[in-house]
Amino acid sequence: MTWANAVVQGILLGGLYALFATGLSLMFGVMRIVNLAHGDLSVLAAFLAFALGDALHVAAFPALLAVVPAMAALGYLLQRLLLQRSMRAGPLAPLVVTFGLSIVLQNALLEWFSPDSRALDIGGLGTASLRLSGAVSIGWFALLCLGVAVTVLAGLQLYLSRTGFGRAMRATSDDPETVQLMGIDHRHVYAVAAAIAFATLAVAGVLFGMRTTFDPSIGPARLIFAFEAVIIGGLGNLWGTLAGAVVLGVAQTLGAQVSPAYAVLAGHLVFLAVLVLRPQGILRTAGVLP
């Protein structure tokens, strides 16, 4: 693979990372909760799709129709029943609770599905590609992922800025007490934000599962990628998350060009460099919502 091709692949990978990071970003922006179980939840989504395929022979793409709503509902309930309570117990609590959740999820998946790697089968789509030039080719699936990511991000941005409930979400993230005076139940708003976050990470998780193999223990690694994308791009802007994700994706694919073992490390080093040189991120804006 040439360097040019590596950059293109990195951009496409970045799209998927962006979709994945959106949920993390949203929960932090609205509720100030950093969900340490974020990665494991995406793995859960992939396993749900896998289980549907295994038990009911549902193909991977149609499985999304069941997995996404299920995860959204899970997000709503988790926020309403567990995380909302933890928010009252001080700044330490949500971190400990979501970390505990991460441990529980990983090990529950381990118990249920065993440590074996799985993959979601998408047949020929996985390898079909579009040849742009002699050296550069774009996989249809990778392009699809990027397209989904940009669509979801744009949709979310529009939702937040143009709709009544989106406005309510932004207001709630500013001032959850005052927002009640307008008849808005802030707990419901938080729960919907969590539902949206979980829905996006479900899509990302399933797409990831189509792209590479997954097993119960890779959640934390994914969390780290989402987090690096958010920090590199800068807090306060959904498009920043996309930019950060693309930079991360390109860093990883370029690192892989040097040696496959360096892919992840390259991403880490770029993240650390941003932290040292430009801690506010590439696209830092003054907005509240990332």
Partner 1 sequence: MTVAVSRATPAGRAGLGGAILAAGALASAPYLFTSDITHTLVDLFVFVVIATMWNLLAGYGGLVSVGQQAYLGVGAYAVIALSVHGGVNAFLAVPLAALLTGALAVPLSLLAFRLHGGYFAIGTWVLAEVVKLVIAQIGPLGKGSGASLTTVSGYDPDVRVAYTYWLALAVAVVSVAAVYLLLRSRTGLQLTAIRDDATAAEAVGARVGRTKRLVYLIAGAGTGAAGAIVCLNTLTVQPESVFSVQWSAYMIFMAVVGGIGTIEGPIAGALLFFGLQQALSAQGPVYLIILGAVGIAVMLVAPQGLWGSTLGRTGFGFFPVGHTLR
Partner 2 sequence: MNPLLIVEEIDVRYGDAQALFGVGLTVRTGETVAVIGANGAGKSTLLKTVAGLLRPARGRIAVDGRDVTALPAHRRARLGIALVPEGRRLFPSLSVEENLRIGAYRSAAGPWRLDRVYELFPHLAGLRGRSAANLSGGEAQAVAIGRALMSNPRLLLLDEVSLGLAPIIVRQLYAALPAITAAGTTVLVVEQDVAQALAVADRVQCLLEGRVALEAPASEVTRAAVASAYFGV
Chain residues that interact with partner 2, rule: CB under 8 A: 164, 167-168, 170-171, 173-175, 177-186, 287-289
3-31 vs 219-233: helix crossing angle, rounded to 10: 90
Taking alpha carbons only, the member of 189, 145, 169, 194 closest to residue 37 is 194
CB-CB contact of 39 with 202 (8 Å):
no
Residue 167 interacting entry, from partner 1, partner 2, none, C-beta within 5 to 8 Å by type: partner 2
> Which tokens sit at 208?
């990831």
Q: Site for partner 1 (CB under 8 A): which residue of 99, 140, 159, 239?
A: 99
Residue 55 interacting entry, from partner 1, partner 2, none, C-beta within 5 to 8 Å by type: none
Residues 6+ apart with CB under 8 A from 250: 6, 7, 10, 11, 13, 14
Query: Should residue 244 be labelled a site residue for partner 1 when binding is judged by CB under 8 A?
Result: no
Residue in the structure block whose two tokens are 């029943």: 81
Residue 94 interacting entry, from partner 2, partner 1, none, C-beta within 5 to 8 Å by type: partner 1
Residue 119's SS3 state is: coil
Residue 222 interacting entry, from partner 2, partner 1, none, C-beta within 5 to 8 Å by type: none
Question: Taking contact as CB under 8 A, which single stretch among the options 13-21, 99-107, 157-165, 167-175 is the one that binds partner 1?
Answer: 99-107
What is d(CA 28, CA 38) in angstroms, rounded to the nearest whole number?
12
What is d(CA 193, CA 37) in angstroms, rounded to the nearest whole number?
16
Nearer to partner 1 among residue 12 and residue 101 (C-beta) = 101
What is d(CA 271, CA 233) in angstroms, rounded to the nearest whole number?
10
Question: Taking contact as CB under 8 A, which single stretch among the options 11-19, 67-75, 223-231, 237-245 is the one that binds partner 1?
Answer: 223-231
What is d(CA 178, CA 180) in angstroms, rounded to the nearest whole number?
5
Q: Site for partner 1 (CB under 8 A): which residue of 108, 138, 143, 150?
A: 108
What is d(CA 20, CA 242) in angstroms, rounded to the nearest whole number?
10
Nearer to partner 2 among residue 108 and residue 171 (C-beta) = 171
Residue 4 interacting entry, from partner 2, partner 1, none, C-beta within 5 to 8 Å by type: none
Binding site for partner 1 (CB under 8 A): 28, 32-34, 36, 82, 85-86, 89-97, 99-104, 106-108, 110-111, 220, 223-224, 227-228, 230-231, 264-265, 268-269, 271-272, 275-276, 279
